[in-house]
Amino acid sequence: MRSSHPCLSIPSILLSAMLLLAMPAGATLVLSGSTLTPPGLPLATLREQKVDVKITIIPSGERTFAIGHRIQMETGLADARWSTIVFVDGYTGDRESSTGRVAFINGFVLSYPTDRDVSVGISVSGTVPDNAGPSVRLLTVRELDNSGQAVPGSMIMISEPVSTPAPVPAAETTTEATTPPPSPSPSPAPTRAAGFTFLTGLFAAGSLVTAGRLYRRDGKPL
């Protein structure tokens, strides 16, 4: 069996090294500052929120940023609206705007000779979703290479806590005790007096009158 000579692998090693050198190096993204509008933490759900950041690009190759690379931006805000501005030596460069959960910045507008100072301002606004949980990712920034893969160590993330809505108290029901009106007392049954009734008394009175009249005529007692 013929064995391969170790020297035969040298061309492949050289080719791999050349490919690695030809691949553009990723830049270093540094978060220079961030602002929340409105300010204050924790964030309130279903409220409009905006975050503004400035990212400084520190080159690690022959250009400030590889032309074939791009910056990917992502947010957890609903109905997101994006606005980006590229600054070159302090002057305003490319401006872009877009909508949606994800947005991009083309590497071409970030690629300058390394003696230039390049930074980018990113603004994103949207609504804090009601199901955000204990926190929401306001902004995630990463550099993607030519194949769309994230460059290691290039990610910047801004996440803030979200207030937990207070539980809605259960509706209280008040039961009023009602006292039924008193029942009418039964009328007592008339009682008959022993040995005397209304008619008997009336008859007796008449007898007395009659007796009196006879007494006055005769002048004598009965």
| Domains defined for the chain, CATH in brackets | 25-161 (2.60.40.740)
CA distance 126 to 158: 15
Q: Which helix (H) or strand (E) holds 207?
A: helix 198-218
179 has a pLDDT exceeding 50: yes
CA distance 93 to 141: 20
Compare 176 and 130 and report the one with higher pLDDT. Answer: 130
149 has a pLDDT exceeding 70: yes
pLDDT (0 to 100) of residue 104 = 98
Read off the pTM.
Answer: 0.66
Quick check: helix, strand or coil at residue 192?
coil
R_g of the chain computed on alpha carbons? 52
pLDDT (0 to 100) of residue 162 = 96
pLDDT (0 to 100) of residue 68 = 95
182 has a pLDDT exceeding 90: no
- Which strands make up the sheet holding 102-106, listed edge to edge? 102-106, 70-74, 135-144, 156-161
Please report the sign of the dihedral spanned by the C-alpha atoms of residue 26, residue 31, residue 36, residue 42. Answer: positive
CA distance 135 to 42: 9
40 has a pLDDT exceeding 60: yes
Among 82, 74, 78, which residue's Cα sits nearest to residue 48? 78
Residue 15 in tokens: 């080719």
185 has a pLDDT exceeding 70: no
Contact 164, 132 (CB under 8 A): no
Give, as one character, the DSSP assignment of residue 126.
Answer: E
Compare 176 and 200 and report the one with higher pLDDT. Answer: 176
Query: Confidence class of residue 174 from pLDDT cuts 50, 70 and 90?
Result: low
Q: Which helix (H) or strand (E) holds 185?
A: none
* Residue 147 burial (C-beta neighbours within 10 Å; 0-12, 13-18, 19+): exposed
**47-86 residue pLDDT tens:** 999 999 999 999 988 999 999 999 999 999 999 999 999 9
CA angle, 95 then 99 then 105, to 5°:
40
CA distance 195 to 191: 12
CA angle, 56 then 58 then 60, to 5°:
160
Residue 120 in tokens: 């980018």
